[in-house]
Amino acid sequence: MFAPTTLPIPTPLRTDSYDVIVTGGGPSGAMAAIASARQGARTLLIEQHGFLGGSLTAMGVGPMMSFHDNLRRQIIGGLPQELIDRMIKKGSSPGHVDDVITYCSTVTPFDSEALKMELETMIEEAGADLLYHTLVVDTAIVDGRLTHLLVANKAGLTQLKASIFIDASGDGDVAVRAGVPFAKGREQDGLTQPMTMNLKVGNVDTEQLRRYARENPDDCEFDAGAAEGLRRLETSPRVSLKAFIGPLRRAREAGEISTPREFILLFETGTPGVFILNVSRIQGLDGTNPYDLSKAETIGRRQCAEIFHFLKKHAPGFEHAIRMDTSAQIGVRETRRIQGLYTLNQDDILNGVQFPDALCLGGYPIDIHAPSGEGTATRFFKPGTQYSIPLRCLLTEQVPNLLVGGRCLSATHEALAAIRVTPQMMALGQGTGTVAALCIRHHCDPRQLDFRLVREALVANGAMLEASPNS
Ligand SMILES: Cc1cc2nc3c(=O)[nH]c(=O)nc-3n(C[C@H](O)[C@H](O)[C@H](O)COP(=O)(O)OP(=O)(O)OC[C@H]3O[C@@H](n4cnc5c(N)ncnc54)[C@H](O)[C@@H]3O)c2cc1C
Q: Of all atoms in ligand 1, which is nearest to the CA of residue 27?
A: 25
**CB of 141 shorter than 6 A to ligand 1:** no
Instruction: Give the number of the atom of ligand 1 that is nearest the alpha carbon of residue 64.
Output: 11
- Tell how far the Cα of 26 is from the centroid of ligand 1, in angstroms: 6
* Ligand 1 neighbourhood includes 130 CB (under 6 angstroms): no
The answer to whether the CB of 148 is under 6 A from ligand 1 is: no
Q: What are the residue boundaries of the structural domains of the chain, listed by start?
A: 14-189+335-460, 199-326
Question: Ligand 1 center to residue 420 CA distance, Å?
Answer: 9
C-beta of 29 in contact with ligand 1 (< 6 A): yes
What is the enclosing helix (H) or strand (E) of 22?
A: strand 14-23
Residue 235 is given by DSSP the state H
In the reported structure, the alpha carbon of residue 103 is separated from the centroid of ligand 1 by a whole-number distance in angstroms of: 20
94 touches 237 (CB < 8 A): yes
The whole-model pTM stands at 0.96
Asked whether 7 lines ligand 1 (CB < 6 A), one says no
State how beta strands 322-326 and 14-23 pair: unpaired
Q: Are 293 and 330 in contact (CB under 8 A)?
A: yes
Rounded Cα gap, residues 233 and 159, in angstroms: 53
pLDDT tens across the length of the chain (471 residues): 334 445 554 544 556 799 999 999 999 999 999 999 999 999 999 999 999 999 999 999 999 999 999 999 999 999 999 999 999 999 999 999 999 999 999 999 999 999 999 999 999 999 999 999 999 999 999 999 999 999 999 999 999 999 999 999 999 999 999 999 999 999 999 999 999 999 999 999 999 999 999 999 999 999 999 999 999 999 999 999 999 999 999 999 999 999 888 999 999 999 999 999 999 999 999 999 999 999 999 999 999 999 999 999 999 999 999 999 999 999 999 999 999 999 999 999 999 999 999 999 999 999 999 899 888 899 999 999 999 999 999 999 999 999 999 999 999 999 999 999 999 999 999 999 999 999 999 999 999 999 999 999 999 999 999 998 876
CA of 69 to the centre of ligand 1 (A): 21
Task: Tell me if the domain spanning 14-189+335-460 has CATH number 3.50.50.60.
Answer: yes
